[in-house]
Amino acid sequence: MPAALVTGSSRGIGRATALRFADDGYDVAVNYRTSDEAAEAVAEDVRDRGREAVVVGADVSDPEAAARLVATAVDAFGGLDHVVNNAGIDQHVYTADLDPDDFDRVMDVNVNSAFNVTKAALPHLRESDDDPSVTNVSSILAHTGAPIECHYAASKGALLSLTRSHAGDFAPDVRVNAIAPGHVETDMTDDRTPAEKREELAEIPVDRYGQPEDIADAAAYLRDATFVTGETLNVNGGELMR
């Protein structure tokens, strides 16, 4: 049966993507770094949908851990057909106050992890008969920048360049695309004040936050869009027009 690996899939966008792939008939490798109970719950939801699931704790910014994650998924499912690089962290700090170590950590988790997982998965993806693909989860901030999270915006911009580079490098064997979400309602947005939320919503033409399922839908589209590679699908309710 076809199989997918979704990094950072214990919550939010990763969780929704894992469950969408299960709904579409894919066995799923569920990855987490710290939230083991949440990851196990996602795996149970995958199994409730009639698919197989394997749970792997791994900090994918570490190349050895990323390789172990991929190997575990391949051992469990007999192969690997699709990868969604979703693992990421955010931090709101002005540049003047930003510690270089924090800058490096955000780049490690948001960019290096996608490289590590993709590199480890590539030989297995090339053996797939399911029109294999890699999807990198970037951000609207890759296009706009951000005054209080320059390292996050820079990392997401780097993901778009990595996407285009890998799409050319891996063609025609493996398609590589990116999703650039706008404001999505997850636990990463729970700290927003009502005033901040009103300000953000005023910039979104469809007048609502995105939901994790909106991004999961985009990932499913890119998985199945066999004539699309090297592209970024902007999913932001029209915010990028403003």
CATH of domain 3-235: 3.40.50.720
8 Å CB contact between 14 and 32:
no
Q: Which two tokens stand for residue 198?
A: 């009103």
CA 88 to CA 110: how far, in whole Å?
Answer: 5
Annotation says 152 is catalytic = yes
pTM: 0.95
8 Å CB contact between 114 and 85:
yes
What does each of the 242 residues of the chain score in pLDDT, given as a tens digit?
Answer: 899 999 999 999 999 999 999 999 999 999 999 989 999 999 999 999 999 999 999 999 999 999 999 999 999 999 999 999 999 999 999 999 999 999 999 999 999 999 999 999 999 999 999 999 999 999 999 999 998 999 999 999 999 999 999 999 999 999 999 999 999 998 766 677 888 888 889 899 999 999 999 999 999 999 999 999 999 999 999 999 87
Question: How high is the pLDDT of residue 188?
Answer: 66
Phi and psi (nearest 5°) for 31? -110, 145
Question: How high is the pLDDT of residue 42?
Answer: 98
Q: Is 27 helix (H, G, I), strand (E, B) or coil?
A: strand
Catalytic residue among 26, 32, 94, 152: 152
CA 216 to CA 16: how far, in whole Å?
Answer: 6
Sheet holding 232-235, edge to edge: 53-57, 27-32, 3-6, 82-85, 133-137, 175-181, 232-235
Question: How high is the pLDDT of residue 26?
Answer: 98
CA 63 to CA 203: how far, in whole Å?
Answer: 38
Distance of CA 8 to the CA centre of its chain: 7
Distance of CA 236 to the CA centre of its chain: 15
